[in-house]
Structure 1
Amino acid sequence: MSREEVFKAITFAAENGEVRAQLDYSLYASRIFEDDKNALDPDLIREYKDNTIRFLESAGASGQSQAYVRLSDIYKNGSLAPQDPVMAYAYAEAYIQTSTSRYGASFLNGAMSGLDSAQLRRGKEIATQILNGRSSTQQ
């Protein structure tokens, strides 16, 4: 398959609710940027970034806690969305509340580092909203 075909296929699968495609979208879809013409296309870059966030949010809402780790990292690093430490913390909080990982506490501590009490409170509120959006079978 060409890079364009992979991009279209992974986008189609993610759009149609395939959770694995939603989780892995950024990895597979990013290959389209190996072509110099695509690497400089602002519309395609924006679509890729928007889709990555949207698909990870959808995967998280479907019960995939790992999506919250990826979203937290995205907001912490500012790689595919504007850097936002409160959102990074909110997704880390959502992860720790939905995961059984023994590394969750350390991940959460990293996300909350440097936040003041108001930011932590806001992050917890956002995490509650995120978790309220999860499928009822996952709660």
Structure 2
Amino acid sequence: AAAVARQLQALGVMVNVGAHGQREGLAVHWEMWSFARGGMTPMQALETATISPARHLGMENDIGSLEPGKLADLVIVDGNPLEDVRRTDQIDKVMLNGRLYDAATLAEEGEGSSAAPILWWRGVPQFDIR
């Protein structure tokens, strides 16, 4: 299916991630990785989760890419996803509404920093499913 998605993309069809309800948070990464395995470049795979869905929704002037005047919640990853798209789940920092958070602790960083809230799922074991 990923190879077909790449062929459709080459014909000008807008391809977006689907993320069909798999484990929350990972599904989009899995979709991008699959697209890359199907022949998309890492940039093309990243676009299926960013600017392409924004265009599909008619919101490309507000979201989907980093440009002056756009809303920009984003993640900072450890490594370069343009060299290896599988780096997309190696999240180091999260910027949400202009505030920077450490991904491991959820503590806010920078001016007005605060400790992370205590969340119910903190004690749930994590598994490496790569």
Identify which of structures 1 and 2 has the higher relative contact order when contacts are C-alpha pairs closer than 8 Å and 6+ apart: 1
User: As a proportion of its length, which structure holds more helix?
Assistant: 1
User: Is this a same-fold pair by TM over 0.5?
Assistant: no
User: As a proportion of its length, which structure holds more strand?
Assistant: 2
Instruction: State the TM-score, normalized to the length of structure 1.
Output: 0.34
Instruction: State the TM-score, normalized to the length of structure 2.
Output: 0.36
